[in-house]
């Protein structure tokens, strides 16, 4: 769980916004409110805590703005740029941090997986 919380802590600054214009309109697949469902890739001893963290995490995307709310609180919206988008994958970065964030979507684009690092991820279900 500590590693998942650390990952969220490291990603939080990525999602804090330094206001700037962006020419990209955002991704239609990412648009909306996403509610965490479960964590994957964590040790079995941390699974319950990681799942509790995941189910209390939301991602809200509107246009090219993205915000994340974790059990630690809500971060201000950030402007993101699309680095790569295809039928199932979206790679973005925000103006504040050049780190790539990868999301994969199911065929209906109502479920997505946010890849935290090489082993860990959080699965989200679209709420609206």
CA dist., res. 39 & res. 121, Å (int)? 6
What tokens appear for 6 in the block? 């650390």
User: What pTM value is reported for the model?
Assistant: 0.79
When the pLDDT of each residue in the chain is averaged and rounded to a whole number, the result is 85
Indicate the SS3 state at residue 66: strand
SS (H, E, C) 31-81: CEEEEEEEEECCCHHHHHHHHHHHHCCEEEEECCEEEEEECCEECCCEEEE
Residue with tokens 């239609």: 28
Which CATH superfamily, name and number, covers 2-126?
A: Calycin beta-barrel core domain (2.40.128.20)
Residue pLDDT, tens place only, 44-99: 999 999 999 999 999 999 999 999 999 999 888 999 999 999 999 999 998 877 78
- Concatenated DSSP letters for 114-125? EE-SSS-EEEEE
Q: Which residue has the higher pLDDT, 31 or 98?
A: 31
What confidence score (pLDDT) does residue 22 get?
Answer: 42
């Amino acid at each position: 769980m500590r590693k998942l919380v650390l990952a969220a802590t490291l990603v939080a600054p990525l999602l804090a916004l330094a206001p700037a214009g962006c020419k990209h309109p955002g991704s239609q697949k990412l648009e909306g409110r996403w509610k965490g469902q479960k964590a994957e890739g964590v040790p079995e001893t941390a699974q319950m805590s990681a799942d509790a963290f995941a189910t209390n995490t939301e991602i809200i995307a509107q246009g090219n703005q993205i915000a994340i709310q974790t059990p630690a609180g809500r971060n201000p919206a950030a402007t993101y740029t699309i680095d790569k988008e295809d039928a199932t994958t979206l790679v973005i970065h925000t103006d504040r941090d050049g780190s790539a964030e990868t999301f994969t979507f199911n065929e209906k684009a109502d479920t997505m997986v946010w890849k935290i690092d090489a082993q860990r991820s959080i699965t989200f279900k679209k709420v609206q």
